[in-house]
Structure 1
Amino acid sequence: MASFLKLRWISKSFSTLSSTPLRICVVGSGPAGFYTAEKLLKAHGSVDVDIIDRLPTPFGLVRSGVAPDHPETKIVINQFSRVAQNERCSFIGNVSVGSSITLPELREMYNGVVLAYGAESDRSLGIPGEELADIYAAREFVWWYNGHPDCRNLAPDLKSSDTAVILGQGNVALDVARILLRPTAELARTDIASHALAALEESTIRKVYLVGRRGPVQAACTAKELREILGIKDLVIHIKQADLVTTPADEIEMKNNRIRRRVYELLSKAVTAGHASVPGQRELHFVFFHKPDRFLESDDRSGRLGSVRLEKTTLKGDESMKQVAVGTGVYKDISCGLALKSIGYKSVAIDGLPFDNYKGIVPNLGGRVLANASLGDMQYETGLYVCGWLKRGPTGIIATNLYCAEETIACVSEDINKGVLSSKSVKPGRKGMLELLDSRNTRVVPFDAWEKIDLEEKRLGNLKNKPREKLATREELLKIAGK
């Protein structure tokens, strides 16, 4: 049998076979995946749900995306754990769609498949010098300090310069800046990965520049995230007074958007409260009305980053349309040893899946995957659905996936009620998938094996006065899961 496979799993599969339930597979165990499973289980007592994930660990961005100093955001894991412990639900980790099993194979084994695997790639700036060393996607950096196995060996250089440039001013950009600037004594009490904490303790970075194409009124962050970084002890905030001058179009934007008004007010207070920095003190510089033009190599021509060239922008448009940043032909360079691109995540396609490469999403209508999205020919892929970032793009907060899942499950329910998905078509489901994975020597990780990982991480964390000490390699995770 497949490694870590439990006898109760097999008996569970056989016991449900006679009652011929509908079998649904959810690909991805982040918020979108778990909300989808939860809604399915509540709506249909005759549906069995299997959640698969390419990692040995569940919970997706709640584990690997939420900042370590935001433990309150991770409480949703308790809710997701109850879903996984439902007798009609199973979590099956360490299964990658594409290499462990294909999408066509899943569709043959299940009555329906819901794809909720999120966005695990990044948008590109498409500017010169982007290939230089010391330039990373913010996602990679976030995965690195959160102990994601794919970025365990990222090893960003935090000791060759005192300056980092972050391109973007959304919540992820603020998270990254906060981790770079926050006292490590405070981070040491979180579940930050030990390798990241050790690197941050030796970091020489004292200045972080947050660069935005537009102005403070259009900053993409929330007031909560902004308030938190502005409140870091002994951090000097730099904002140019001239950048806070608003136009009539800005005023209308703020009148129509309470969050933008609050963000602008916080930034305005921060500039009036600013004071001169002293040597060695940490600084956060908000750079508005600039866009990246190119990355410049260091003077020693070593293939490493030396500076970022920015082009001054101005906003075009009025209150009747979105204000767009356009270049002015005026440039300036910021010398730095680290650049992080926080310009958006991007989903990746898998074989057998319709995909819109430009938008980075699966073409869909309300969650039903479209076989052909051209006008006048709206054909659905029977039994194939999508949820989360893969459905709508990388926007929103964790709770946004709840409403997204409700919309998708409404489509699934409609198809069940209309007989589009029918238990008369008996599918092998979990039993068939596990047999196939076993024949390919895939080491699957059920939820009770994850619980062993969970206990071990908490035990190790307790030794260091941390909530948990994350195991950050697949080898470590699989070893503990197999005990």
Structure 2
Amino acid sequence: MAHVITRPCCNDGSCVSVCPVNCIHPTPDEPEFLTAEQLYIDPETCIDCGACIDECPVEAIFPDDQLDEKDEPYLQINADYYKDHDVDGGLVPPKKAPPMPADKELHVAIVGAGPAALYAADTLVKKAQVTVDVFDRLPTPHGLVRFGVAPDHAPTKLVERGYLSTANKKNFNYFLNCEVGKDITHDELMERYHAVVYAVGAATDRRLDIPGEELPGSISATEFVAWYNGHPDFVDLDVDLSSERAVVVGNGNVALDVARILVTDPDVLAKTDISEHALAKLRESNINEVVILGRRGIAQGAYTNSEFLALGDVEGVDVIIEPDELTLDPESEAAGDDIDSTIGTKIRLAQEFADRPTTDGNKRIVFRFLSSPLELEGDGKVTSMTVSRNEFADGGSVTRTGETYDIETGLVLRSIGYKGHAEAVPDLPFDDARGVVPNDDGRVLHGDDPMTGVYVTGWIKRGATGGIGRNRLCGEETAEAVIADFIDEKLAEPTASRDEVEKLVVDRGVNLIDLEGWKRIDAAEKAAGRESGRPRVKFTDLAALEAAAESAE
């Protein structure tokens, strides 16, 4: 019997270190780990020990004889990876942590409370001499796990259990509802901590830069996701669901998420932690078709195969791919049977969708490849989109054919990527072109020189690439840089005490929320959820969140 990794895989690599026969790949030491859609178990090497099952934070691993029918394709997906990847078995050597000076303390402030921040914190708090204070402007932690993961992907959110384990350490503290740059400055943190780590993400969406983009009815997928996930900043977002068709521009996982949410039965969503205001609006929605536009071909789809496969499991929804949409780029065409296994699986799944019969009365998700938006039109709101047909040129580049077509739509969601912005880190150097803070393994660079005691992790460090697993590796790398610099005595001693921080911000009117306050919010949301058969009902009003944090109930 072999074990199989399925869709919820978070790529954090925790299963790799416990596997005694090195049958899970790519490992964090392999280059493909940084870009892999998921991790894969070699069915020929797996010895059925079950260690990976116990370690998996999102419960994505199962024995091959215990798979649900919808997960059975992962047998082939796991096996396919090893058709073109030669790996060596054997024990995985454990990482040896560098020794810390026993007579010195290290105080670290982390700005941001998302996955990259908490993975960095997890590495740091394993050292008894280290104290970590995590700051976030919102009353709740966990960043994109809370506000980015789709509500119908509950298993992915199980990583929060690991974050709670980190937060429960005695040398960890939350300073939530406290905005760095407003309630406390960068310089004030530098005076009180040996190191300050920025993990503020990349929250700005990329623009289409086409005429009509500013019309009502044209919004970013970033905003839409935050709206249905209950982010307090987006409760009042104007989402017009009155038309029968929506168009999503882009073909990454977020594009698939928003398309799926738009056509999923609201009664199904009512069993998730989707925000109450979004659920109410979706119940009144007229949308019965979502068109997903991809500038390039099927082989270049940026979504993972697991998310693509999962679309076929949405009840009452047909996935429509016309056979003539499956044009391959010259390189993929020439590769034939030797094509990369991940791309080959993507093509195979698309062909299977193309061959499926449709059902009268079903809603539809329609894929159109080699298509780019040219203009949005409408009188006071979006009513249609003009689209260019593209083609592959020599070398695999994409050019316009000159052929266009129109799509009637009242809702356009752009989902073409995220980008960091300088306003999130006003006291740090910033590379506008890449949307990141210049750094070397997390050490912030001013020119060619590292800034003493200032670090970054997550998307603001490397750009908006990779998910939860990549953030774990990224956070660990930055934390290890902080520890190494501390051991090498490269960090300046604080000139003021970190013990002053709480009084400093409270005296400025901050309604500070600590770990216990967050636990009370968490308990109150889950209690509200139990009353309606849901995992939680998110509080979206800041006053309600603050009240829940202070409640004794």
Same topology, TM > 0.5: yes
When the two chains are superposed, the root-mean-square deviation of aligned CA atoms in Å is: 1.6
The residue identity in structure 2 corresponding to 1:428 is: S
Residue from 382, 397, 418 that aligns with 1:345: 418
Residue from 386, 392, 395 that aligns with 2:456: 386
Alignment of 1:6-17 (within 5 A): none
Structure with more relative contact order (C-alpha pairs < 8 Å, separation 6 or more): 1
In structure 2, the CA distance between the partners of 1:253 and 1:449, relative to structure 1 (3 Å rule), is farther
Which SS does the other structure have where 1:189 is aligned? coil
Tell me how many residue pairs correspond in the alignment. 446
In structure 2, the CA distance between the partners of 1:65 and 1:71, relative to structure 1 (3 Å rule), is same
Aligned-partner Cα distance in 1 for 2:500–2:399: 55
Residue from 460, 483, 490 that aligns with 1:413: 483
Matched residue, 1:6: none
Matched residue, 1:4: none
Matched residue, 2:286: 204
Contact 1:237-1:274 at 8 Å conserved across structures = no
Matched residue, 1:469: 537
Residue from 375, 389, 402 that aligns with 1:294: 375
Cα drift, residue 240 of structure 1: 2.0
Aligned-partner Cα distance in 1 for 2:509–2:328: 62
Counterpart check, 1:400 vs 2:470: yes
Aligned-partner Cα distance in 1 for 2:195–2:393: 47
Aligned-partner Cα distance in 1 for 2:229–2:209: 27
Counterpart check, 1:428 vs 2:509: no
Counterpart check, 1:362 vs 2:437: yes
Cα drift, residue 330 of structure 1: 1.9
Alignment of 1:68-79 (within 5 A): 68-79=151-162
In structure 2, the CA distance between the partners of 1:194 and 1:252, relative to structure 1 (3 Å rule), is farther
Which SS does the other structure have where 1:331 is aligned? strand
Matched residue, 1:312: 389
The residue identity in structure 2 corresponding to 1:360 is: G
Which SS does the other structure have where 1:204 is aligned? coil
Aligned-partner Cα distance in 1 for 2:335–2:304: 15
Contact 2:294-2:368 at 8 Å conserved across structures = yes
Aligned-partner Cα distance in 2 for 1:22–1:232: 50
Cα deviation, 1:342-374, whole Å, max 9, x if unaligned, reads 0111222222111111111111111111111xx
Which SS does the other structure have where 1:455 is aligned? helix
Aligned-partner Cα distance in 1 for 2:341–2:174: 40
The residue identity in structure 2 corresponding to 1:324 is: S
Contact 2:429-2:437 at 8 Å conserved across structures = yes
Contact 2:213-2:376 at 8 Å conserved across structures = yes
The residue identity in structure 1 corresponding to 2:393 is: K
Residue from 90, 106, 112 that aligns with 2:173: 90
What residue ranges of structure 1 are gaps of 5+ in the alignment? Answer: 1-18, 373-377
Contact 1:103-1:351 at 8 Å conserved across structures = no
Instruction: Give the TM-score, by structure 2 length.
Output: 0.78
In structure 2, the CA distance between the partners of 1:476 and 1:220, relative to structure 1 (3 Å rule), is same
Alignment of 1:64-463 (within 5 A): 64-159=147-242, 161-251=243-333, 255=338, 257-275=340-358, 278=360, 280-297=361-378, 301=379, 303-318=380-395, 323-349=396-422, 350-372=425-447, 378-421=448-491, 424-425=493-494, 427-429=496-498, 431-463=499-531
Matched residue, 1:47: 130
In structure 2, the CA distance between the partners of 1:253 and 1:197, relative to structure 1 (3 Å rule), is farther
Which SS does the other structure have where 2:468 is aligned? coil
Stretches (4+) displaced over 6 A = none
Aligned-partner Cα distance in 1 for 2:357–2:463: 37
The residue identity in structure 1 corresponding to 2:439 is: N
In structure 2, the CA distance between the partners of 1:316 and 1:109, relative to structure 1 (3 Å rule), is farther
Which SS does the other structure have where 1:326 is aligned? strand
Cα deviation, 1:44-88, whole Å, max 9, x if unaligned, reads 321110011111001111111111111111111111011111110
Aligned-partner Cα distance in 2 for 1:91–1:188: 31
Aligned-partner Cα distance in 2 for 1:111–1:164: 50
Cα drift, residue 256 of structure 1: 5.3
Which SS does the other structure have where 1:118 is aligned? coil
Contact 1:238-1:274 at 8 Å conserved across structures = no
The residue identity in structure 2 corresponding to 1:393 is: G
What residue ranges of structure 2 are gaps of 5+ in the alignment? Answer: 1-102
Aligned-partner Cα distance in 2 for 1:260–1:103: 45
Aligned-partner Cα distance in 2 for 1:96–1:251: 51
